């Protein structure tokens, strides 16, 4: 048995491979010609969702200056309300203190009267 000719085997495999590629190429060329040249790409779900959200964007005309003015106005109103409440509480406390002071003054007068009577 003479030696195995590896070059011949490699050439046969190469020829069969090229033949297979040629067959696949000629089968697929008609399918490639049927495809339209430029097809509109499919929009992904996330891209569609992003476009819908941007169309419905409520912050389109958002102004930070107007927002800040409104926020500061509300804070000012709240502080004025609390100031008014604290003023009323302080007024009531002063009235109670004044009443107690008058009652205490009467107490000492009564003690003096009792002492003088004895």
Q: How confident is the model at residue 2 (pLDDT cuts 50, 70, 90)?
A: low
DSSP percent split of the chain into helix, strand, coil, nearest 5: 80, 0, 20
111 pLDDT above the threshold of 80: no
Domain positions in the chain: 6-37+61-117
The DSSP output letter for 61 is T
pLDDT tens per residue, range 50-73: 777 777 766 667 788 888 999 999
CA 81 from centre of chain: 32
H helices, E strands: number in the chain: 3, 0
| Matching residue, tokens 């495999």 | 13
pLDDT tens per residue, range 14-50: 999 999 999 999 999 888 888 766 766 777 778 888 7
């Amino acid at each position: 048995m003479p030696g195995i000719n590896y070059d011949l085997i490699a050439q046969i495999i190469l020829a069969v491979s090229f033949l297979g590629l040629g067959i696949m190429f000629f089968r697929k060329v008609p399918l490639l010609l049927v495809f339209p040249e430029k097809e509109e790409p499919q929009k992904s779900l996330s891209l569609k969702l992003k476009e819908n959200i941007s169309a419905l964007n409520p912050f389109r005309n958002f102004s930070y200056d107007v927002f800040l003015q409104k926020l500061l106005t509300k804070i000012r109103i709240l502080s004025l309300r609390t100031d008014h409440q604290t003023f009323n509480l302080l007024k009531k406390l002063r009235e109670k203190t004044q009443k107690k002071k008058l009652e205490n003054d009467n107490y000492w007068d009564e003690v003096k009267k009792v002492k003088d009577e004895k």
